[in-house]
Amino acid sequence: MSSNARHAVVTGSSSGIGRSIAESLLAGGWRVTGLDVAQPTVVHPSFTHTPVNLADGTDIARVAAALPGVDALVHAAGVLRVGPLGQLDHAGGELMWRLHVDAATRLADAIVPGMAQRGQGRVVFIGSRVAQGMAGRGQYAATKAALIALARSWAAEVAAQGVTVNVVSPAATATGMLNDPARQGSAPRLPPIGRLIEPAEIAALVGFLLSESAAAITGQDIAICGGSSLAR
């Protein structure tokens, strides 16, 4: 493991999109610290698993304070709770807000100022096409829309310091989340390309946004949706 390798912090690294991002970055020569409450599933000499409850602000503060210099932050951890008005899961809504939004704010607040001081850094939040609104997923949509607002606000704050902040918003993706019993009654919508988005496709886009070639891209919400955003 090279001490000169760039260091990325990836949340949700034990499964799904987060795991694919971590593995892709490791293959590209990054050092990766994975933050996840679940046991690690990535095995690599340049990977460090740090157990943390990302829905607990105190636990996040403990972990963030011990992180060495971070070149990139990728917040991919997430859950999905669904329900129409009159049947909303309020505990689930609070969990989504803590995990998607509050964790992003706490991690960024602890990490991004250091990036700005060093004159370079990358932040990517994994959002969702649902942020534009979808029946039965209002609470989830609100948390993902909040990530876009945060990214645009913070991008404006740190653009002059060489730090970019972006959101990648996938459509339905082939991960274990699709089989979560909590989403019963809300089947994923297949994109017009006729298949689900693959986690590796999201990882490839994230990898580009973390590269020097993407230095001029900031404050953007980039869809990887298989045509779901097209007028039909």
Determine contact, residues 18/76, Cβ cutoff 8 Å.
yes
140 is catalytic: yes
**CA dihedral for 17, 22, 26, 28, sign (positive or negative):** positive
Task: Determine how many CB atoms are found less than 10 A away from the CB of residue 117.
Answer: 10
Determine contact, residues 133/91, Cβ cutoff 8 Å.
no
Q: How far apart are CA 48 and CA 32, in angstroms?
A: 6
Q: How far apart are CA 80 and CA 131, in angstroms?
A: 12
The DSSP output letter for 175 is: S
Q: Which of 30, 47, 125, 140 is catalytic?
A: 140
Of the candidates 216, 207, 214, the one whose C-alpha atom is nearest the C-alpha of residue 29 is: 207
Angle at 112 between CA 109 and CA 114, to 5 degrees: 110
β-pairing, 47-51 vs 221-224, is: unpaired
Catalytic residues, which ones? 140
